[in-house]
Structure formats: structure tokens, C-alpha cells
Amino acid sequence: MRRVLWLALLPIPALAHVMSMSSGDLTVDGVRAHYELRMPLYEVAHIKDPERSIFESIHFSSGLREARLLSKTCITDAPAATYICTADYEFAVPPDYIDVACGYPSITVPNHVHLLRAAMGGKLDQAVFDLTFSRATLRFRPPTPAEIAITETGAGFIRAWAGLVQLVFLAALVLAARSRKELLALAAMFLAGQIASVLLMPRTTFQPAPRFVEAAAALSVAYLAVEILLLPQAGARWVIAAVLGAFHGLYFHLFVQSTNYHAGYVLAGAGLAEAIAIAIFWLVFSRFSRIARALRPVQVSACALLAFGMIWFFLRLRS
């Protein structure tokens, strides 16, 4: 059983990204539209024909009629480590609104987020796409306060559950907790670190590269696993929880910075989602531990967590 666990675990870190984002700009002038995409190079490194895949995964339409792709091109900006694509489209008639379908998570990684900004006749709009929300309508009108609150809180909620790494962080907290009281303390410190990271980063000049954040987060997860295995009675695990929260918060910092969403709404949605996930993990793990105590689930899970962290770290170090 343990061998199966290790074999299943090995390929997972290769797909793990804390931060996977791209941005696009759509400018509409009459029946013509110009689209520009900027995506990190590491997100397209595994795609056999990235130009074809990208333009097969993004579609613009209005009035149930899809815009016609007139031209497209992609180049590699090596100094900026960015893959840049541009395209021109033509609508049948000047659009009042634009329906967008985006499938970038299906060609990059499951937790990929694409931010699309659009301009038409002096009016602005934007949409955020991920594996859960692959379609949106650009109406080019100011959103109401209620729409802003719902959209941005919902975005934070979805981001918290958007990828494997986010769930690994939360599962690590549950695994490290030796009691319900300690779990509450670890969760509180994790959320505090996350909030501090989002609120304080804009006030500094430090802008860490995504690869650095992922490598550091991987080491933090691995260290927590080592402590669970070798120092089962060690105290101050709340410090590691706070560090994990800070690294996790860098992902939300990047998301808030890219979308210009309100940090309070995003953090509120994320905190709610994380609290629910932690409660579910605790319920499942505590029941499994009672049923399968002879299998030493804490030690086995900690070994799996250590392997995940170290493989993830070395993969990010090499990339």
C-alpha cells in the first residue's frame, strides 16, 4: 500500500504551482478587436504547439456569432521569461457586449488563472477565468457595489480551492495538529500570515519571483513533515503555520495586484473557503486515524508530505 502511495505521489509536484497566472488585453474598435496575451514561459514549456493550443482555447463572440480570427502571432521574450501572443479578430457587427470562452487551464495547469482586461469606446471591463469559470460576458458597464462584493469574495473563495498546492498547505496544517485546540491555533496563525502577506507586500519594494516563492513554500512543507516525524512533541508549530500562511498569501497578493480587486473581499472569501477545507480535512483524517490506527496514518502521511515537498522543491530549483 505504501509503495502505491509513493508511486502515485511522484508525478504530482511536477504539476504543482502556487501561482499560475496570465494576462490579456482586448481592445475593440467597431467590428475589429485586437487581443494581446502575456503568459510566463514555464506555463507553455510542456505544450507541443503553444501558438495553436492558445488560440484554440480562447474565443470571442457576440450575438451568438463568433468573431473571426484574422491573424495571429506569438513570440518568446526570453529576458522577461514571457510568451507573448497577439491576434486580430473581426465581429459580424459592432458588438454591444462580448462573450468570452477561455480554456487556458486545460492546456497549462488546472489552477491557472487568466485575467482579461477589455476596452471599447472608452468603456472598460475585465473578467477572470479559471478551471471553474471558463466563460464570462463583458458588458462594458460599471458593476454595482453588490456585484463587486459578490464577484471578489467569490474569486477569493475559488482561489483558495483552485489547486493542489493550496489543498496541500491546508492538509499539512491538519496533519501537524495534535489536538483540536492546536488545530485552531495553527489555522489562526496560517490565516494571520496570509493576511499580513497580502497587506504588507504592497508597502515594500520586494517582489519575489513565483519560482522562489514555490521553492521556499516547498521547503516549509518539507520541514513541517520532518518535525511531525522526528519531533512529534515539539512546540511552536504555530510559527511554521504562520510562515506557510505568508507564502500562501503571496499568491493572493499577486492575484489582488493583477486584478485590482479589494484585498478585504478576496481575503474574506479565501478565509471562509480555507476554514471549510480545514474542517473537512480534520473530520476525514480524525475518523480515518481511529479506524486504521494500525497503519500509522500520521507517519505515513507525513512521509508522503515530505516526499511531496522535496520533489516539488527540486523541480522548482531546476526550472
Q: What is the pLDDT of residues 178-229, one digit of tens each?
A: 888 999 999 999 999 999 999 999 888 877 777 777 777 777 788 888 888 8
Q: Enumerate the domain spans of the chain.
A: 21-142, 160-318
CATH of 21-142, one of 2.40.128, 3.40.30, 2.60.40, 3.40.50: 2.60.40
Report the alpha-carbon distance of residue 293 to residue 289 in Å, rounded. 5
pLDDT beneath 70: ranges in the chain: 1-19, 163, 291-295, 316-319
Nearest to 213 by CA among 175, 176, 183, 169: 169
CATH 1.10.8 fits 160-318, yes or no: no
pLDDT at 300: 79
